[in-house]
Amino acid sequence: MLIHWAVMPTRLPLVLRRCHACPSGAFRPHGKFRVNANHKLLDAWLLALCTGCGDTTKVTVLERAHVRSVRPELLDRMHANDPALAGELLQDGVLRRRNRIALDWTGAWRLDTGSADHLDREAAEVSVRFEAPVPVRPLRLIADGFGLSRAGTERLLAEGNLVSPVRLTGRTTTDFGFLLKR
């Protein structure tokens, strides 16, 4: 029987960027946008507050974009301060590179395993689905989902009792599956 797990975000990730006013290096985005029009050109920023001093930083979304080149639904979502749009934009690698930011997902996601009836099975086939591309270590996910220690899951992997078509060491942001035999 196939068991379905889901990695779900609980809040927006922290934006890692140095604050110009204090020694903090993290900003908390709240999904608020600022849109500025200069004749037929638009600028748009995602606003984030410093976790140390509360100062605001702007993550550039649009820079000198012609009004007709911006999709109306995107502009409407920015005017409405859509937090889902903020999450989508933070996932964009081009936007992160252009703004020289990184994301910190610590404490911003949870693992939904459904019920606990899989804990006492001899063999369990699990499919893990990501609601957002949260970078997690599959071994940590498996350890948390089955209530095992990380060393215990590494031992199961070394003994061949934990099998997956994807690499379980390192980090992943994509869906994967595995088979655990005890």
A 10 A CB-CB count for 146 gives 20
As beta bridge partners, residue 47 has 58
**pLDDT at position 122:** 74
- pLDDT tens, residue by residue, 18-69: 999 999 999 999 889 999 999 899 999 999 999 999 999 999 999 999 999 9
Is it the case that residue 119 has pLDDT exceeding 80? no
| CA distance from start to end of the chain | 16
Residue 24, C-beta contacts closer than 8 angstroms, at least 6 positions apart: 50, 51, 52, 53
Largest separation between any pair of C-alpha atoms in the chain: 67
CA distances from 34 to 61, 114, 180 (A): 10, 39, 48
113: closest CA among 143, 145, 152, 156? 145
- pLDDT tens, residue by residue, 55-112: 999 999 999 999 999 999 999 999 999 988 998 999 899 999 999 999 999 988 999 9
A 10 A CB-CB count for 96 gives 17
- φ, ψ dihedrals at 116, nearest 5°: -95, 15
Distance in angstroms (rounded) separating the CA atoms of residues 129 and 120: 22
Q: Token pair 């809040």 is at which residue?
A: 11
Global confidence as pTM: 0.77
Under 8 Å between Cβ of 17 and 45: no
CA distances from 78 to 31, 75, 83, 98 (A): 9, 5, 9, 19
**pLDDT at position 124:** 85
Under 8 Å between Cβ of 110 and 8: yes
Compute the average pLDDT of residues 128-136. 89
Distance in angstroms (rounded) separating the CA atoms of residues 172 and 149: 20
